[in-house]
Amino acid sequence: MAETKKLMRALAGETMDVPPAWMMRQAGRYLPEYKATRAEAGDFLSLCYTPDLAAEVTLQPIRRFAFDAAILFADILLVPDALGADLWFVTGEGPRLSTITDQAAFDALKPGDAIHDHLAPVYETVRILARELPSDVALIGFAGAPWTVATYMIAGRGTPDQGPAHDLKAQNRPLFDALMQRITEATIEYLSAQIDAGAETVKLFDSWAGSLKGQDFHDYALTPARTIIAALKARHPGVPVIAFPREAGDNYIGFAKATGADCVALDNSVSAEWAAEKVQVDGCVQGNLAPGHMVTGGQALVDEVKRIRAAFSKGPHIFNLGHGITPDADPDNVALMLESLRAPA
């Protein structure tokens, strides 16, 4: 059925009058039905690790909005959790982890291929979704890219500038490189297992790629993505990969060719017109409506949707936001976005 699904056709390079659409964080806190299921789970990690509930919240936006793809409900920090880092979530503040800042802490981590027992509930969620999704909806698996995951493992939390990770990179490059390698190995294993369970494509989220400059971007954003994608392609020929080096700026140019990615997701700090000229020439792109429009709505939302659709109309395109939808978004604006996208041009 894959060839009949709009998302898979776009990833294969097909240009469509109306592009397929989904949203980052489409299953989440802006939906009342998500809040109810989260309350049933008791806490965020329990929601991630309870397959029936994780599948339910993945399906909720598909039922409500008829998106062209569903993305597995999980979290990028499940990989460090599976590697043996302590992970917990503080209500209203976000994730906290035990820090990996010295050799002893690194040595206590598990090997990259020893994560599967811990992550078995996630794979079961994928199997449920593969059975229950409508036949025209594609299933996306995902993981955080090594740099982004490392920034949390080193700092123990999210930071404004990823300073702790940059500091470790400068002060103890061998340890930093070893951590990046361990995360890379685990990410290959994790995404491969998601594909085995039924994911039709996978996405690599490098949310903090923009803080890597010069050679560091090449070494710690581009090279790990290339390594992961090559390994996945060797194990799973024909399964497409979406890469999202957020806020890469000019480094978006050529990223698909350099890494082997089938699609490059774009944040909203670059214009659709620029990206069509510089990035889409190499293949499928995804994006890149500013998430704030899901809060404010109105004619500005309609106009932006039409502008982005027109800008990318000459090549393969997956419509999406430039980053995840925010908890204060209005579900009615999501419906308006899709209505505007799917209206005759």
User: Using one digit for the tens of pLDDT, what is the confidence trace for 112-170?
Assistant: 999 999 999 999 999 999 999 999 999 999 999 999 999 999 999 999 999 999 999 99
Model confidence pLDDT, tens digit, residues 46-99: 999 999 999 999 999 999 999 999 999 999 999 999 999 999 999 888 999 999
Extract the tokens encoding 93. Answer: 């503040």
CA distance 165 to 154: 6
**DSSP three-state, residue 38:** helix
Q: What is the pLDDT of residues 194-228, one digit of tens each?
A: 999 999 999 999 999 999 999 999 999 999 999 99
Which distant-in-sequence residues (6+ apart) come within 8 Å of 120 by Cβ? Answer: none
Verify whether residue 75 is a known catalytic residue.
yes
Is residue 235 flagged as an active site residue? no
Distances (CA, A) of 20 to 2, 220, 233: 14, 31, 23
Active site annotation includes 49: no
**Which of 21, 126, 9, 127 lies closest to 67, judged by CA?**
21
Distance CA 160, CA 189 (A): 29
> Which residues make beta-bridge pairs with 317?
285
> Does the global pTM surpass 0.75?
yes
Which of 37-41, 55-59, 90-94, 271-275 has the lowest average pLDDT? 90-94
Asked whether the beta carbons of 195 and 232 are under 8 A apart, the reply is yes
In CATH, what number is assigned to the domain containing residue 31? 3.20.20.210
Q: Is the predicted pLDDT of residue 260 greater than 80, yes or no?
A: yes
Residue 1: the pLDDT is: 44
pLDDT in tens, 8-22: 999 999 999 999 999
What's the domain range around 264? 2-342
Tell whether the torsion through CA atoms of 298, 301, 307 and 313 is positive or negative: negative
Q: How far apart are CA 279 and CA 330, in angstroms?
A: 31
Question: How far apart are the C-alpha atoms of 42 and 53, rounded to whole Å?
Answer: 11
Q: Which of 25, 182, 246, 309 is catalytic?
A: 25
Q: Give the CA-trace dihedral at 309, 314, 319, 321, to 10 degrees.
A: -70
Token pair of 322, please? 């430039």
Q: Is 25 a catalytic residue?
A: yes
Distances (CA, A) of 53 to 57, 243, 251: 6, 27, 38
For the record, the structure tokens of 334 come out as 């999501």
Is 80 exceeded by the pLDDT of residue 3? Answer: no
Q: Quote the pLDDT of residue 91.
A: 83
Q: Is 96 a catalytic residue?
A: no
pLDDT band, very low/low/confident/very high, at 2 (cuts 50, 70, 90)? very low
All residues at 6 or more sequence positions from 231 whose CB lies less than 8 Å from its CB, including other chains: 188, 192
Q: Quick one: pLDDT at residue 206?
A: 98
Inter-CA distances, 107 with 85, 86, 104, 296, Å = 11, 14, 5, 48
Range of lowest pLDDT (2-11, 118-127, 302-311): 2-11
Listed residue (229, 231, 248) closest to 240, CA to CA? 229
- Minimal CA–CA distance to 180: which of 213, 144, 215? 144
* Helices 51-65 and 116-132, packing angle to 10 deg: 40
Q: Please identify which of the residues 30, 34, 49, 75 carries the catalytic annotation.
A: 75
Tell me, what's the pLDDT at 99?
A: 97
Say if residues 260 and 226 touch (Cβ distance below 8 Å): yes
Query: 170, exposed or middle or buried, with CB in 10 Å at 0-12, 13-18, 19+?
Result: exposed
CA 280 to mean position of chain CA atoms: 19
Q: Which of 9, 30, 38, 49 is catalytic?
A: 38
What is the total count of domains within the chain? 1
Q: Which of 30, 34, 49, 152 is catalytic?
A: 152
pLDDT for 4: 87
Q: Mean pLDDT in the chain?
A: 97
Q: Average of pLDDT values for 313-326?
A: 98
